[in-house]
Amino acid sequence: MPQRTCGVAGCPNAHRARGLCSSHYNQQHQPDRHRKSTVACGWCGKATLKQTANRYGARFCSLSCRDTWRRRDKLPVLYVGQLLRPQPIRPRPPRQRARRRFVAGSCLRCGRGYVAEDYTGTAGYCSTTCLRRVSKQRYRARKRNAYVANVSPRRIYERDGWRCQLCLKPVRRDLTVPAPLAPVIDHVMPLARGGTHEPANVQCAHFICNSMKSDTVPSATQLMLFG
């Protein structure tokens, strides 16, 4: 069946009803369907012709006014009288950037030189690894309600001449735990036996020697408290 076309001469559009296409049908039978009326723009107030049936499109005279309203007006206004204008945005005061403070020195644990950003004025270690290992010893002492003082492993090693006080052999400065010959801090009187965490009760030792000693009571030759 061939497709029917509009009955108006010269119109190639497809047939819709009563021998007419959609455009000519609306012109003759629904003349007010797409009628435009003069409305005021919801943003700039300019008068413009808009279709009242298009509810959202009738609010603005152009796309620029619509986009401006989307960026500035954050209130969900739903056709309650005149659209509200946005309030002027107050500029925020500039943020005061804190001054960055850097400190340099030798690590209190391993003796390496470092340059670090100091927030609290107490930076004294080259890395978080050294800080955690020193803090771990202090934490163990606190758990046993022992007396805790500031102990610098580096100073203890230098005081003992980088020599294990249990086997009297030198320690390897370039090794770290869990290497057997790595230097560690050993408590002369173990914390489990009521010892304290202070320079007078600590000494340099191999990691393997300190592990073998564990928390046993030292002999009389090991009870050498350093002032």
pLDDT score of 52: 60
pLDDT tens by residue, 110-155 = 888 888 777 656 678 888 888 888 888 777 777 677 888 888 899 9
Residue extents of the structural domains in the chain: 22-72, 102-222
Alpha carbon 136 to chain centroid, angstroms: 27
What is the C-alpha to C-alpha distance for residues 10 and 25, in angstroms, rounded to an integer?
15
Q: Does domain 102-222 have CATH number 3.30.40?
A: yes
Position 164, amino acid: C
The pLDDT, as a whole number, for residue 76 is 47
The answer to whether residue 203 scores a pLDDT higher than 90 is yes
pLDDT tens, 144-201? 778 888 888 999 999 999 999 999 999 999 998 889 999 999 988 888 888 888 999 9
**Per-residue pLDDT, 202:** 92
Average pLDDT score over residue span 81-88: 52
**93: Cβ contacts below 8 Å, ≥ 6 apart:** none
